[in-house]
Each structure stands twice: as structure tokens, then as C-alpha cells.
Amino acid sequence: MLPSFFAASVALLSLTGLAQAMPQGGFGGPGSGSQSSAVVSSSTVASSTSGSTVAASVSQAAESTSTVACNNSPDLCNRNYNNITHMGAHDAAFLRDSSTSYSTSGNQYYNATKALSAGLRLLQAQVHNSSGTLELCHTTCTLLDAGSLEAWLAEIKTWMDANTNEVVTILLVNSDDEDASSFGSVFEASGISTYGYTPTTTSGPISTWPTLQTLITANTRLVTFIASITYDSTYSYLLPEFTYMFETAYGVTSLSGFNCTLDRPSTVSSASVAVSSGYMGLVNHFADTAEAFGISIPDVTDIKTTNSASTNTTGTLGTQGAQCDSEWGLKPTFMLVDFWNVGPSIETADNLNGITATGRTSVSTDELSSSSSAGMRRDAKGWFNIVAVAMGVVAIGNFVWL
């Protein structure tokens, strides 16, 4: 059995020609090439799980928030952007649902626009250059490709068009070290650049960001950070991530492994130095499970604990949020999670922000999985592809999951 498995793997690798380094950033997941079907229109957004369907009017939500609330709460309107905890979807484009045959690499059960409608305001994704097109790919485009960055941004713009009192943050991993002009042309083509915010300084961290209301009034409601990019004044709304924020460690494989120690950027010595210098803190709170061949996949087994708002349980989102708040002297500005609907993760952000939210779409907090044998077979196929990719990169001595 094993010789046949390895032979098949080698054959697959020879066809796909995998010979590239892995990108920096968090562990991603598979994407759906059909995300356009999940665009939030001005009429209805629906999510389905366990045979039940929850529908809500996005136009009604936009109307309610446009008069009394900013990012789903009137209490947030006059708060500075960096004095709010923005809950985020890690690898937001890479789904574990029927469109990806419930791939074991998937980081989210629901797509980006459903995340926004449910209250998340930070979307993170990996970007690769695939034959000249910026694609949303999980680790490599051979493993899983969620479609073009332009199409994804256009869907987010559609949501922002319908929700005029909402400030959204996008964080992109620049896996192939593309320059700002490559990203800028895509942002402009999607139309979302019209919402782009340019800060008052682009040379270092900012201690006081505008309030949400200021950003909303100016209609500069999109804040975009890109890792490993050089600032370009032509695209002044594309901000180098580590000029403004620091991150805790990712790739945690034990629920006791979450902490508030600065992991990046290497140019800053500690979290306390970063905070005192005006950097915003990003907490990576997603756990991985170590598998064979040195592969790590998203830890679903513990996800209810991982995303829990409890502040007195090891490994929970609430515990890490409270710990960082205590150690840093201020709450995290950003938090990234896998399977954001479970928990639900947004409760931790609401607790840190001290708000009772309004105008959100209800989404099931259940885990999604395939119950059919056919679905299980497709999932096994997805696992085979992951192993094949891993073996190919190990063979060239360049294997790193991020």
C-alpha cells in the first residue's frame, strides 16, 4: 500500500511541478472557486447548516447601522480605530464546506461576506502570483485556489456599498513579494480602492488613529495592510503591515501555547516596546494539529474551546485576550481565528470592547462536516493532495507551513 501511495505522490508531483518556497504568514486553507455565489446583496444573505437556514436583510442592517451604529454599535462611533478590538477571520478565503469537499485544510466554514455580516471586521488572506494573476491560494495554488484577489475584493466592496456605516480591515500575506503597484492595480480594478484610507504618517506607528465616525464621514472605510511590501505613495492606502502592528506567534499546536509575546516584527524587541511606540497588537489565536510528514492542519477537535469567550480556561480566545490586555496595558487591536462562527469568536471582541451589538446576521455556531461517505472520500482526496504537496517541498528541502 505504501509503495503505491508514494509512487502516486511522485507522479502527481511530476505533473504539478511543485518547486517553490512556502509563503510567510499564518496557515491557510482551501478556497472556493465559486465564492461569487456568496456575495452579499442588498436584499438577502443566507447561511445554511444542519438543515436550517438563517436569513437576514442586509439592506435593513445597513439602514439600522447607518443612523445609530458604527461597526454594529453606537458606542464605537467615537472611538479611535486603534482603541477597538477588531475580530478577524484567519485565511478568510479558504473554506471547509461543500464547495471544497470539506477539505481538511480549510480554515473557515463561511465566506468573507458572511463573516462581515456576522460582525467580523478583519479579513486576512494569502496572495500568490499565479501566471501573472494575483490569486488567493493556500500555501500553493496547486493545493487550493480560492480565485482571484480582484473577484474577492469586488465581493467585499459590494458588501461595503450596502453597509455604509462599517469600517473594514484587510490584511494580506504577500507570499511572492509582489510590489505595491501589482496590488494597487487589482484594488483599483475591483473598485474597492475608492474606500481606501491613507494615514497621516506612513513612516512609523501611529499612537492615535481616527475614530470610526471620522473614517465613515470621509468614506475612507477600508484599512488595508500588506505584509512584506514597500510603501508606494501612488497607492498610499496600501500599508506595510509591520510599520503599524506587531503579532503574537502563530503555528501553535497546544492550547497551552498561546501567549502575548511579540513574534514579529524582528525589528522590535518586545511587546511592551511595541505598545509604547504606538504599534497595534494582533493576536493570532488559531491552533494547528501536527500530522504525518511534518504537516499541520487546522485543529477542529478543540475549536469550541479555542474560540470560547471564557476568560478562565486554558487555550480560549477570551483567556488570551484578557491576558494580552493585562500584559500590554491595552486590549488587542486585532484578533485572528479559524472557524470564526464557532464560539462564537465575536463574543470575545464584544467583551473587550464592552458593547452590546446590533444589526448582525445570525450564523449557526455549529461545526460543518460532510455526513456522506462520498464526502468522506473527497476529504481523503484533499488530504492526499496536502501530503503530495508536503512531500514535494520536503524533497527540495524547502518545506514550511505558515
Q: What pLDDT sits at residue 343? A: 98
Q: What pLDDT sits at residue 293? A: 75
Point out the residues of the chain with pLDDT beneath 70.
Answer: 1-67, 371-402
Q: What pLDDT sits at residue 67? A: 56
The domain segmentation of the chain, as residue ranges, is 19-40+52-395
Taking the C-alpha atoms of residue 52 and residue 55, their distance in angstroms, rounded to an integer, is 10
Handedness of CA 350, 351, 352, 354 (dihedral sign): positive
Residue from 345, 338, 297, 365 nearest 103 by CA: 297
Taking the C-alpha atoms of residue 362 and residue 159, their distance in angstroms, rounded to an integer, is 16
pLDDT in tens, 78-124: 999 999 999 999 999 999 999 999 988 889 999 999 999 999 999 99
pLDDT in tens, 272-330: 999 999 999 999 999 999 887 777 889 999 999 999 999 999 999 999 999 999 999 99
Sequence-ordered strand ranges (E) for 59-121: 86-89
Domain 19-40+52-395 has CATH 3.90.1640.30: no
CA distances from 143 to 100, 288, 289, 383, 399 (A): 11, 18, 18, 10, 14
* Active site (catalytic) residues: 90, 138
Distance linking the first and last C-alpha atoms of the chain = 30
What pTM did the predictor assign? 0.80
| Phi/psi of residue 158, nearest 5 degrees | -60, -40
Q: What pLDDT sits at residue 314? A: 98
